[in-house]
Structure 1
Amino acid sequence: MIRVENFAKNWERDGAALAVYYKGKPVVDLWGGFADLASERKWKEDTMSIAFSSTKAVGALCIALLIDRGNLQFNEKLVNFWPEFGKYGKDVITVEMIMAHTAGLAHLDEPITFEDAQNHERMSEIIENQKPHWNPGEKTGYHAVAYGWIVDQIVRRVDPKKRSIGTFFREEIAVPNDIEFYIGLPLEMAHRVARLSRTTPWQRFDEILSNPKAIDYMHIANDMINKGFLYKMGQNPTWLQSVFKMTLNNPDLYTLEQPAALGIGTARAMAKLFDLLMKGKIVSPEMVKKLSIPFKCDFDIVTGVTLPRGHGLTYVSEIRGNDTFTLIGHAGLGGQNVRYDVENQLSFGYLSNGLKNGFGNSARTYVPLKNAIYDSIVKFRESDSSSSTLQ
């Protein structure tokens, strides 16, 4: 089993979980290692972990559901329901610009305290007073954390019940479908969350040697030296850190309703959620089709990569022989990933608390898992094709 090899090679330093749904059924549900290596607390069946930016895919479903119900439109300007947002030329920004990271709001300049983050009215003011970093719609640049606070504000304004995104997700999607994933975890459940660990300098070097193309290190170094977007994102908020120091093991942070970075749940829940999406159980079949088509594919001036984006999701091609499949979803810091493939009726979630160098799509633990999944899919397709020919 390829996942056991990840542990055997010491690529998984702590713990991890992988879940796969295929043609509407759970076919893989694995977990192992340690939820907290220092205390030797093992990763259990009900262990949860922070999904980082894979949470963006979950937040995207909340927006899609509101649009499906007629409460919102992708091409609608935010000033239609949030007039105060329109300062400094932001009046032209649409919902899709936010979801596709073209709005020019890659980070927020005003220092954000933890108390600010707990106060949605204060966050509204900070966002309203933010000037775009480029003309909205003209460039693509990853809105790593700001995205989450903006999406929460959108939901609060267009939901008929004026709920926060965490409450909306819980009441409309998670609870009705028995999905154990939270945008804002109840503090009494914090003991089930895996403890995160950063890579040591040697581990980072080892990852670079084994997969030098996992990250554009020159782009990151240049950004840090010149205090670019990535640098500024890492400076604010100071209490939300996972690269140069680790603050995300503070249970108080788990309670924040931050759909860009702080979703918490199980890999099983992530795989199940997007299986239900493909079945039309979350949004309409028409919306599922709309979500399967990216909004645009541009060079990202923040991350330095070109990647199809749209509707809060990213789109990655998996080429197998003459076939090209599209994996829709979102990767997260340290290797996290959630993906679904409509053509193959496939969905999977992967979570790990020992953070890796590569972003989700290139992390050296994720890549062999994804490859093993598609090796199996190809065999299933060939088997189905042979059976059809014989009939």
Structure 2
Amino acid sequence: MSYISGKQLCIGLIAATLTLSAGGFTRVSAQEIPNDFSAIVRQKLPAVVAITTRQIIQDQPTLDDFLNPFDGRGPVQPQVREALGSGFVISPEGYIVTNNHVVADSTEIHVVFSDKETSPARLVGRDPATDIAVLKVDPRPNMTIAAWGDSDAMQPGAWTIAIGSPFGLGGTVTVGVLSARSRDIQAGPYDDFLQTDASINRGNSGGPLFNARGEVIGVNTAIVSPSGGSIGIGFAVPSRTARSVADQLIRTGRIERGYIGVRLQEVTPSIAEALGIAGTKGALVASVEAGSPAQKAGIQPGDVITRYNGKDIQGVHDLTLAAANQKPGSTATLTTSRGGTQQDLSLTVGQRKDEEVQTGAVPSQGPGDQRLGLALSPIPDEA
């Protein structure tokens, strides 16, 4: 997996067309099927920036340096690593959204606007778990802003437009369609990516993915690429997630995630048979943390959580996302199956106890620490 973003298409479609519907043919307006995307690009291009970063790498002394301290080479010199990425302005105050992996561990950050003006940027906060970061530059006169759109309203087949700086080529526009939603690419515990076939490449990371109305519905983040170039499989953090994370980072510099205090296991056919339940949907509770919201609500090991706040839970990943995305202190309703009997429970969502630093960074964890809101654990073969 390599990181991302930008296939420019020239689309010549008639001003209005007919589509087949259940009741016959329905006329589709020209606004829904644009002749091209030049108007949107002209309006939104100034809101998209290129990001350049510098990182000082301190080389570790080698054994030879200690054995031959007077060989004339002098002290080990630090190395400078430079990286490129993309981002977009979200407020007149100069806040810019990008990817965490674009700016992580950087000692210098600069943004380059579409008019080639360069400004130093300050890191406001970052969230490695969702790969979102927020920068701040001094406001410019009449700064163009990219407005958030509704990623949940996007359906496969809808137009998507990526603008960014692949390989340092600022202002590159590529177009495709939304290929799929809710992709889990095993990049992190909160994977919920939009998939697009708009051509995105190295350097597009952190750039916006627009809908046909010019609203940001995703932040380009990753690609599947055997060669390092685009093969038409790209992924973007949905605006639902990116906007929430960015708002929290701007407001407090840190991220709050919901926590209910259970360890989970996927429901396999053999487990479903043993529990006497039909199908493998839901998340099996392997253990419940003492004093947690789940224990206080009466959830027990062996319960299968099948619904959360009225939405079906297909598996562990669904429940992890649902709990993490809920505001601590709010009330959640769960449906559980115990011994074939369903029951509805309510609990007050807690806050994940990880001590995130003010940059929003998640601290490094030990090999045995898997707690990220909802921690996952296999059930032992023997009870």
* TM-score, scaled to structure 2: 0.21
Q: Greater helix percent: which structure?
A: 1
More strand by proportion, 1 or 2?
2
* TM-score (norm: length of structure 1): 0.21
User: RCO higher in 1 or 2 (8 Å CA, sep ≥ 6)?
Assistant: 1
